[in-house]
Amino acid sequence: MNKREINQLVDWITTAQRIVIMTGAGVSAESGIATFREAKDSLWAKFNPQQLASPEGFANDPETVWQWYQWRRQQVLSASPNPAHGGIAKLQLKFDASLVTQNVDGLHQKAGSPEVFELHGNLFRDRCNNSVCSYQRDSIDVSAPLTLCPQCESSYLRPSVVWFGESLSAHVLDQVTEKTARCDLFISVGTSAEVYPAAGFADLAQSNSARILEINPNVTVLSTRADWVIAEPAGKVFQSLMEALEK
Ligand code: OAD
Protein backbone atom coordinates (compact mmCIF):
# COMPACT_ATOMS: atom_id res chain seq x y z
CA MET A 1 0.00 0.00 0.00
CA ASN A 2 1.27 3.48 -0.73
CA LYS A 3 1.08 6.36 1.73
CA ARG A 4 -2.09 7.82 0.20
CA GLU A 5 -3.88 4.45 0.51
CA ILE A 6 -2.75 3.99 4.10
CA ASN A 7 -4.00 7.49 4.97
CA GLN A 8 -7.34 6.74 3.30
CA LEU A 9 -7.66 3.44 5.19
CA VAL A 10 -6.93 5.19 8.50
CA ASP A 11 -9.52 7.82 7.59
CA TRP A 12 -12.20 5.23 6.74
CA ILE A 13 -11.56 3.34 9.99
CA THR A 14 -11.37 6.34 12.30
CA THR A 15 -14.41 8.14 10.86
CA ALA A 16 -16.69 5.07 10.84
CA GLN A 17 -19.28 4.88 13.61
CA ARG A 18 -19.84 1.12 13.44
CA ILE A 19 -17.65 -1.35 11.58
CA VAL A 20 -18.37 -4.96 10.64
CA ILE A 21 -15.42 -7.10 9.56
CA MET A 22 -16.26 -10.32 7.74
CA THR A 23 -13.42 -12.79 7.26
CA GLY A 24 -12.90 -15.95 5.23
CA ALA A 25 -10.19 -18.52 4.67
CA GLY A 26 -7.82 -15.97 3.08
CA VAL A 27 -7.28 -14.28 6.45
CA SER A 28 -5.61 -17.48 7.65
CA ALA A 29 -3.67 -18.14 4.42
CA GLU A 30 -0.59 -16.35 5.77
CA SER A 31 -0.77 -18.66 8.81
CA GLY A 32 -0.27 -21.59 6.45
CA ILE A 33 -3.87 -22.82 6.39
CA ALA A 34 -5.24 -23.83 2.99
CA THR A 35 -8.16 -21.87 1.52
CA PHE A 36 -11.10 -23.65 -0.13
CA ARG A 37 -11.40 -22.41 -3.71
CA GLU A 38 -8.08 -21.24 -5.08
CA ALA A 39 -6.66 -23.14 -8.02
CA LYS A 40 -3.85 -25.16 -6.54
CA ASP A 41 -3.46 -26.58 -3.04
CA SER A 42 -6.90 -25.42 -1.90
CA LEU A 43 -9.06 -27.89 0.02
CA TRP A 44 -11.87 -28.21 -2.53
CA ALA A 45 -9.32 -28.59 -5.34
CA LYS A 46 -7.97 -31.69 -3.63
CA PHE A 47 -10.94 -33.11 -1.72
CA ASN A 48 -14.60 -33.69 -2.50
CA PRO A 49 -16.82 -31.46 -0.32
CA GLN A 50 -19.85 -33.71 -0.90
CA GLN A 51 -17.90 -36.61 0.56
CA LEU A 52 -16.21 -34.74 3.43
CA ALA A 53 -18.46 -31.82 4.30
CA SER A 54 -22.05 -32.93 3.97
CA PRO A 55 -24.48 -34.91 6.15
CA GLU A 56 -24.77 -37.50 3.36
CA GLY A 57 -20.99 -37.92 3.21
CA PHE A 58 -20.87 -38.51 6.98
CA ALA A 59 -23.77 -40.99 6.83
CA ASN A 60 -21.98 -42.93 4.05
CA ASP A 61 -18.55 -43.04 5.62
CA PRO A 62 -18.27 -41.50 9.09
CA GLU A 63 -14.74 -42.84 9.68
CA THR A 64 -13.28 -41.12 6.59
CA VAL A 65 -14.97 -37.82 7.44
CA TRP A 66 -13.85 -38.04 11.08
CA GLN A 67 -10.24 -38.74 10.11
CA TRP A 68 -10.23 -35.88 7.60
CA TYR A 69 -11.36 -33.46 10.30
CA GLN A 70 -8.76 -34.86 12.71
CA TRP A 71 -6.14 -34.12 10.03
CA ARG A 72 -7.46 -30.56 9.63
CA ARG A 73 -7.45 -30.07 13.41
CA GLN A 74 -3.81 -31.15 13.47
CA GLN A 75 -2.89 -28.62 10.74
CA VAL A 76 -4.68 -25.78 12.49
CA LEU A 77 -3.34 -26.61 15.96
CA SER A 78 0.20 -26.05 14.74
CA ALA A 79 -0.70 -22.69 13.10
CA SER A 80 -0.32 -19.27 14.71
CA PRO A 81 -2.34 -16.11 14.10
CA ASN A 82 -0.79 -13.68 11.59
CA PRO A 83 -0.78 -9.85 11.57
CA ALA A 84 -4.28 -9.79 10.02
CA HIS A 85 -5.77 -11.69 12.97
CA GLY A 86 -3.79 -9.51 15.39
CA GLY A 87 -4.76 -6.25 13.66
CA ILE A 88 -8.44 -7.16 13.57
CA ALA A 89 -8.36 -7.96 17.31
CA LYS A 90 -6.80 -4.54 17.99
CA LEU A 91 -9.44 -2.79 15.87
CA GLN A 92 -12.14 -4.52 17.92
CA LEU A 93 -10.59 -3.27 21.15
CA LYS A 94 -10.15 0.29 19.89
CA PHE A 95 -13.26 0.90 17.78
CA ASP A 96 -16.89 -0.21 17.54
CA ALA A 97 -15.96 -3.13 15.30
CA SER A 98 -17.77 -6.48 15.16
CA LEU A 99 -16.05 -9.55 13.78
CA VAL A 100 -17.92 -12.14 11.76
CA THR A 101 -15.99 -15.12 10.42
CA GLN A 102 -16.69 -18.02 8.12
CA ASN A 103 -13.56 -19.68 9.47
CA VAL A 104 -13.67 -22.56 11.90
CA ASP A 105 -9.98 -22.42 12.87
CA GLY A 106 -10.23 -20.37 16.08
CA LEU A 107 -7.26 -18.16 15.08
CA HIS A 108 -9.16 -14.92 15.70
CA GLN A 109 -9.74 -15.99 19.31
CA LYS A 110 -6.07 -17.04 19.59
CA ALA A 111 -5.08 -13.54 18.41
CA GLY A 112 -7.16 -11.95 21.19
CA SER A 113 -10.41 -11.02 19.46
CA PRO A 114 -12.84 -10.33 22.29
CA GLU A 115 -15.95 -11.46 20.39
CA VAL A 116 -16.21 -13.60 17.26
CA PHE A 117 -19.44 -14.48 15.48
CA GLU A 118 -18.63 -17.88 13.99
CA LEU A 119 -21.01 -18.48 11.10
CA HIS A 120 -19.74 -21.95 10.26
CA GLY A 121 -18.99 -23.30 13.73
CA ASN A 122 -15.67 -24.29 15.26
CA LEU A 123 -13.29 -27.09 14.39
CA PHE A 124 -12.41 -27.72 18.03
CA ARG A 125 -15.88 -28.63 19.22
CA ASP A 126 -17.75 -31.89 18.68
CA ARG A 127 -21.48 -32.35 18.83
CA CYS A 128 -23.83 -35.29 18.53
CA ASN A 129 -24.85 -35.94 14.93
CA ASN A 130 -28.42 -36.39 16.16
CA SER A 131 -29.81 -32.84 16.20
CA VAL A 132 -32.29 -33.79 18.93
CA CYS A 133 -29.42 -34.66 21.31
CA SER A 134 -27.74 -31.62 22.91
CA TYR A 135 -24.35 -33.22 23.69
CA GLN A 136 -21.25 -31.11 22.89
CA ARG A 137 -17.63 -31.28 23.96
CA ASP A 138 -14.36 -29.44 23.30
CA SER A 139 -12.17 -31.50 21.02
CA ILE A 140 -8.46 -30.89 20.65
CA ASP A 141 -7.28 -34.51 20.87
CA VAL A 142 -6.32 -35.13 17.24
CA SER A 143 -5.87 -38.86 17.84
CA ALA A 144 -9.31 -39.38 19.41
CA PRO A 145 -11.22 -42.08 17.50
CA LEU A 146 -14.70 -41.75 16.04
CA THR A 147 -17.08 -42.51 18.92
CA LEU A 148 -20.75 -42.80 19.69
CA CYS A 149 -22.28 -39.94 21.67
CA PRO A 150 -21.92 -40.72 25.40
CA GLN A 151 -25.31 -39.10 26.09
CA CYS A 152 -27.71 -40.71 23.59
CA GLU A 153 -25.42 -43.65 22.70
CA SER A 154 -27.13 -43.92 19.32
CA SER A 155 -25.39 -41.42 16.99
CA TYR A 156 -21.76 -40.59 16.30
CA LEU A 157 -20.03 -37.45 17.52
CA ARG A 158 -19.00 -35.12 14.67
CA PRO A 159 -17.21 -31.79 14.38
CA SER A 160 -19.45 -28.87 15.26
CA VAL A 161 -19.05 -27.18 11.88
CA VAL A 162 -21.71 -26.34 9.32
CA TRP A 163 -21.73 -28.70 6.36
CA PHE A 164 -23.18 -28.13 2.90
CA GLY A 165 -26.95 -28.31 3.06
CA GLU A 166 -27.07 -27.52 6.80
CA SER A 167 -28.51 -24.42 8.43
CA LEU A 168 -26.43 -21.84 10.25
CA SER A 169 -27.23 -21.00 13.86
CA ALA A 170 -30.31 -18.76 13.81
CA HIS A 171 -29.05 -16.98 16.93
CA VAL A 172 -25.70 -16.10 15.33
CA LEU A 173 -27.39 -15.09 12.06
CA ASP A 174 -29.80 -12.76 13.89
CA GLN A 175 -26.97 -11.02 15.72
CA VAL A 176 -24.86 -10.65 12.58
CA THR A 177 -27.84 -9.35 10.59
CA GLU A 178 -28.51 -6.74 13.24
CA LYS A 179 -24.87 -5.59 13.39
CA THR A 180 -24.55 -5.53 9.59
CA ALA A 181 -27.75 -3.58 9.03
CA ARG A 182 -26.45 -0.87 11.39
CA CYS A 183 -22.83 -0.61 10.26
CA ASP A 184 -21.47 2.21 8.11
CA LEU A 185 -18.26 0.40 7.12
CA PHE A 186 -18.25 -3.25 6.06
CA ILE A 187 -14.83 -4.84 5.50
CA SER A 188 -14.68 -8.13 3.63
CA VAL A 189 -11.32 -9.81 4.23
CA GLY A 190 -10.01 -12.94 2.51
CA THR A 191 -13.25 -14.42 1.29
CA SER A 192 -14.35 -15.39 -2.21
CA ALA A 193 -17.82 -14.11 -1.18
CA GLU A 194 -19.42 -17.07 -2.92
CA VAL A 195 -21.04 -18.96 -0.04
CA TYR A 196 -24.43 -17.82 1.23
CA PRO A 197 -25.78 -16.64 3.58
CA ALA A 198 -22.38 -15.14 4.54
CA ALA A 199 -21.94 -13.63 1.08
CA GLY A 200 -25.21 -11.73 1.41
CA PHE A 201 -24.07 -9.57 4.32
CA ALA A 202 -22.10 -7.18 2.11
CA ASP A 203 -25.30 -6.54 0.11
CA LEU A 204 -27.26 -5.92 3.29
CA ALA A 205 -24.65 -3.42 4.50
CA GLN A 206 -24.54 -1.70 1.12
CA SER A 207 -28.32 -1.42 0.91
CA ASN A 208 -28.14 0.46 4.20
CA SER A 209 -25.54 2.86 2.73
CA ALA A 210 -22.46 1.40 4.38
CA ARG A 211 -19.13 1.69 2.59
CA ILE A 212 -17.83 -1.65 1.35
CA LEU A 213 -14.10 -2.28 1.54
CA GLU A 214 -12.64 -5.52 0.22
CA ILE A 215 -9.16 -6.75 1.19
CA ASN A 216 -8.17 -9.61 -1.10
CA PRO A 217 -5.24 -10.02 -3.52
CA ASN A 218 -7.58 -11.64 -6.06
CA VAL A 219 -10.74 -10.44 -7.79
CA THR A 220 -13.99 -11.84 -6.33
CA VAL A 221 -17.68 -11.54 -7.12
CA LEU A 222 -17.77 -8.69 -4.60
CA SER A 223 -14.95 -6.67 -6.16
CA THR A 224 -17.01 -4.75 -8.73
CA ARG A 225 -19.62 -3.79 -6.11
CA ALA A 226 -17.13 -2.76 -3.43
CA ASP A 227 -16.44 0.96 -2.93
CA TRP A 228 -12.75 0.19 -2.58
CA VAL A 229 -10.64 -2.92 -3.14
CA ILE A 230 -7.22 -3.25 -1.57
CA ALA A 231 -5.75 -6.03 -3.69
CA GLU A 232 -3.04 -7.14 -1.26
CA PRO A 233 -2.56 -9.93 1.30
CA ALA A 234 -4.49 -9.22 4.49
CA GLY A 235 -1.46 -9.64 6.76
CA LYS A 236 0.41 -6.92 4.92
CA VAL A 237 -2.57 -4.55 4.91
CA PHE A 238 -3.28 -4.91 8.63
CA GLN A 239 0.40 -4.57 9.50
CA SER A 240 0.54 -1.22 7.62
CA LEU A 241 -2.75 -0.12 9.19
CA MET A 242 -1.58 -0.93 12.72
CA GLU A 243 1.71 0.89 12.22
CA ALA A 244 -0.16 3.97 10.97
CA LEU A 245 -2.72 3.88 13.82
CA GLU A 246 0.01 3.48 16.44
CA LYS A 247 2.01 6.49 15.22
P1 OAD B 1 -12.39 -19.37 -0.33
O2 OAD B 1 -11.32 -20.41 -0.47
O3 OAD B 1 -13.60 -19.53 -1.16
O4 OAD B 1 -11.77 -17.94 -0.63
C5 OAD B 1 -10.57 -17.53 -0.04
C6 OAD B 1 -10.26 -16.14 -0.52
O7 OAD B 1 -9.12 -15.68 0.17
C8 OAD B 1 -9.97 -16.03 -2.02
O9 OAD B 1 -10.79 -15.03 -2.59
C10 OAD B 1 -8.50 -15.60 -2.06
O11 OAD B 1 -8.22 -14.71 -3.12
C12 OAD B 1 -8.34 -14.92 -0.73
N13 OAD B 1 -6.97 -14.87 -0.20
C14 OAD B 1 -5.96 -15.75 -0.35
N15 OAD B 1 -4.86 -15.38 0.32
C16 OAD B 1 -5.18 -14.20 0.91
C17 OAD B 1 -4.48 -13.30 1.76
N18 OAD B 1 -3.21 -13.52 2.14
N19 OAD B 1 -5.13 -12.20 2.19
C20 OAD B 1 -6.42 -11.96 1.83
N21 OAD B 1 -7.13 -12.78 1.04
C22 OAD B 1 -6.53 -13.89 0.59
O23 OAD B 1 -12.75 -19.28 1.22
P24 OAD B 1 -14.04 -18.66 1.92
O25 OAD B 1 -14.53 -17.49 1.18
O26 OAD B 1 -13.73 -18.51 3.34
O27 OAD B 1 -17.58 -23.32 4.33
O28 OAD B 1 -15.06 -19.86 1.74
C29 OAD B 1 -16.33 -19.74 2.32
C30 OAD B 1 -16.79 -21.07 2.83
O31 OAD B 1 -16.68 -22.06 1.79
C32 OAD B 1 -15.94 -21.65 3.96
O33 OAD B 1 -16.30 -21.14 5.21
C34 OAD B 1 -16.24 -23.11 3.85
C35 OAD B 1 -16.14 -23.29 2.37
O36 OAD B 1 -16.86 -24.36 1.84
C37 OAD B 1 -17.86 -24.37 5.09
O38 OAD B 1 -17.03 -25.21 5.37
C39 OAD B 1 -19.27 -24.41 5.53
pTM above 0.85, yes or no: yes
Q: How many Cα atoms sit within 13 Å of 90 on the Cβ side?
A: 15
Pocket test for ligand 1, best of 23, 27, 37, 118 (most atoms within 8 A of CB): 37
Q: Ligand 1 centre from 133 Cα, in Å? A: 31
227 vs 210: CA distance, rounded Å: 9
Question: Directed axis angle between helix 83-94 and helix 234-246, to 10°?
Answer: 40
What confidence tens digit (pLDDT) does each residue in 40-57 have? 778 888 888 889 999 999
| Residue 187: per-residue pLDDT | 98
32: left (phi over 0), alpha (psi -120 to 50) or beta: left
| Residue 41: per-residue pLDDT | 78
| Residue 47: per-residue pLDDT | 87
| Residue 215: per-residue pLDDT | 98
Active site residues: 120
* Percent of the chain surpassing pLDDT 70: 100
Q: Whose CA is nearest to atom 15 of ligand 1?
A: 26
What residues flank ligand 1, with Cβ below 6 Å?
24-26, 29-30, 35-38, 42, 53, 102, 120, 162, 190-192, 194-195, 215-218, 220, 233-234
User: Is the confidence at residue 25, as pLDDT, over 80?
Assistant: yes
Q: How many CB atoms lie within 10 A of CB 20?
A: 27
The model's confidence at residue 38, banded by pLDDT at 50, 70 and 90, is confident
Tell me the pLDDT of the chain averaged across its residues.
96
Q: Ligand 1 centre from 79 Cα, in Å? A: 17
Q: Whose CA is nearest to atom 29 of ligand 1?
A: 195
